[in-house]
A and B are shown apart, each in its own frame.
Chain A
Amino acid sequence: MHEWALAEGVVNTALEIAQNKNLRRVKTILLKVGEIQQIDLEVFDFALKELSKDTILEKAEIKYENFPAYLSCNVCGYKWSFYETFNKLNEEEKEAIHFVPETIHVYIKCPKCGSHDFEITEGRGVFIEDVL
């Protein structure tokens, strides 16, 4: 149910942006959704629509761009996709990462050197790209 907490942030922020741009109605909201947070898009979309009711966002089309996540080892330089290591995690570990993506450092290590010291180069969480 993290989706609701994030959706609230999206709606709040989109309203702020729309206001700054003097939009009377929002037609489109462009979102980038990183893989690591494992957002359930159906729940997220439902939450966004519910929370947009009676606002200028109400009829907006919400476009989601999913983007894959990549990790880069700070020790040996190896780069890999989150997807490769994600499948080895159990449900509890996946859930922890869903809530706090940085806990990925607890459950995943560099496939090459075994270090937990790596960087999330792409695909962490949810961002607003634009409000039109």
Chain B
Amino acid sequence: MKLIDPRLSIIEKRLENIKRIIPVASGKGGVGKSTVSAFLALLLKEKNYKVGLLDLDLYGPSLHIFLNNSHSFPKEEYGLIPVNINNIDFMSIIYFTQNKPLIMRGKELTDTLIEIFTITRWNPLDFLIIDMPPGMGEILLDLIRLINRLEFLIVTNSTRIAMETVEKLINFLKEQNIPILGLIENMKIGDQDFVREKCNSLGIPYIGNISFYDNLENYYGNYNEIINSPISKEISQIVNFFA
């Protein structure tokens, strides 16, 4: 008999008390996946949903900056209980790396992802928001392979350069029959409609756009400032789209 990985059978069970699982993906880097993930989690929580937030950008985790938390450690209890930050259940590789570079290849990315899902014991959630890395490598493919009820939220900016890659991700997901909630155009500049038109031709909902905010990073880490910031007002429109 071939050696069998005992972790694979437990992943579905770990997620059984989560109603909706939403990976925020793009294919492209720097378009605002993490920003959108964080705001989404916060604003859903403001609507009294139970929200989990998982940073799967293993090479470049960043949500801990947004949440201003990197020195806690998940509580040990038959596995690990995510860190509760302002009532959002948060899990990140940052808790294991002391913010040092974690370099690894191929199969090791897969193993890290499987291990995180095996050890993390989520509280019951309405939403688990997953901040995805750029690219269409192991993390995307393993997530799709291991979890069968994902609803992807796609983020792009207003450039053709970004859309060139984003379109490939959308086509890939469509070909695999994986649900796509729709697309968000972040850091909207100009008034051209080509992203919206692209969504129409690809047959996916254009959920809305988020403007470019000059001083966005000043808000990070300060919960009240984030909630009252103009970008929150804009993103709450988007939240209304699916909750």
Contacts and interface: CB of A to CB of B under 8 A. Distances in A.
B103 A117 contact: yes
A102 B115 contact: yes
Interface in B66-109: 76-80, 93, 96-98, 100-105, 108-109
Nearest to B97: A106
A6 interface: yes
Contact of B7 (A9, A17, A106, A130): A9
Given A1-B76, A9-B118, A96-B96, A102 B6 contact: no
B101 A106 contact: yes
B10 A8 contact: yes
Contact of B105 (A32, A119, A128): A119
B161 interface: no
A74 interface: yes
Contact of A120 (B7, B9, B108, B115): B108
B6 A96 contact: no
A79 B77 CA distance: 36
A2 B119 contact: yes
A69 to B, nearest CB: 13
Contacts of B78: 1, 4-5, 8
Nearest to A132: B1
Contacts of A5: 10, 78-80, 118-119, 121
- Interface of A: prevailing SS: helix
B7 A103 contact: no
Interface in B1-51: 1, 3-10, 13
B116 interface: yes
Interface residues on B, range: 20 to 34
Given A2-B79, A2-B119, A12-B10, A100 B103 contact: no
B112 A12 contact: no
Nearest to B11: A9
A105 B103 contact: yes
A128 B6 contact: yes
A94 B6 CA distance: 22
A13 B6 contact: yes
In the complex, which of the residues B4, B5, B77, B109 has the most CB atoms of chain A within 10 Å of its own CB atom? B4
B60 to A, nearest CB: 14
A8 B16 CA distance: 15
Contact of A106 (B10, B77, B102): B102
Contacts of A2: 79-80, 119
Interface in B95-149: 96-98, 100-105, 108-109, 111-112, 115-116, 118-119, 121
Given A99-B96, A130-B1, A9 B6 contact: yes
Contacts of A125: 5, 7, 111, 115
Interface string A94-132: 001001111101100000000011011000111111100
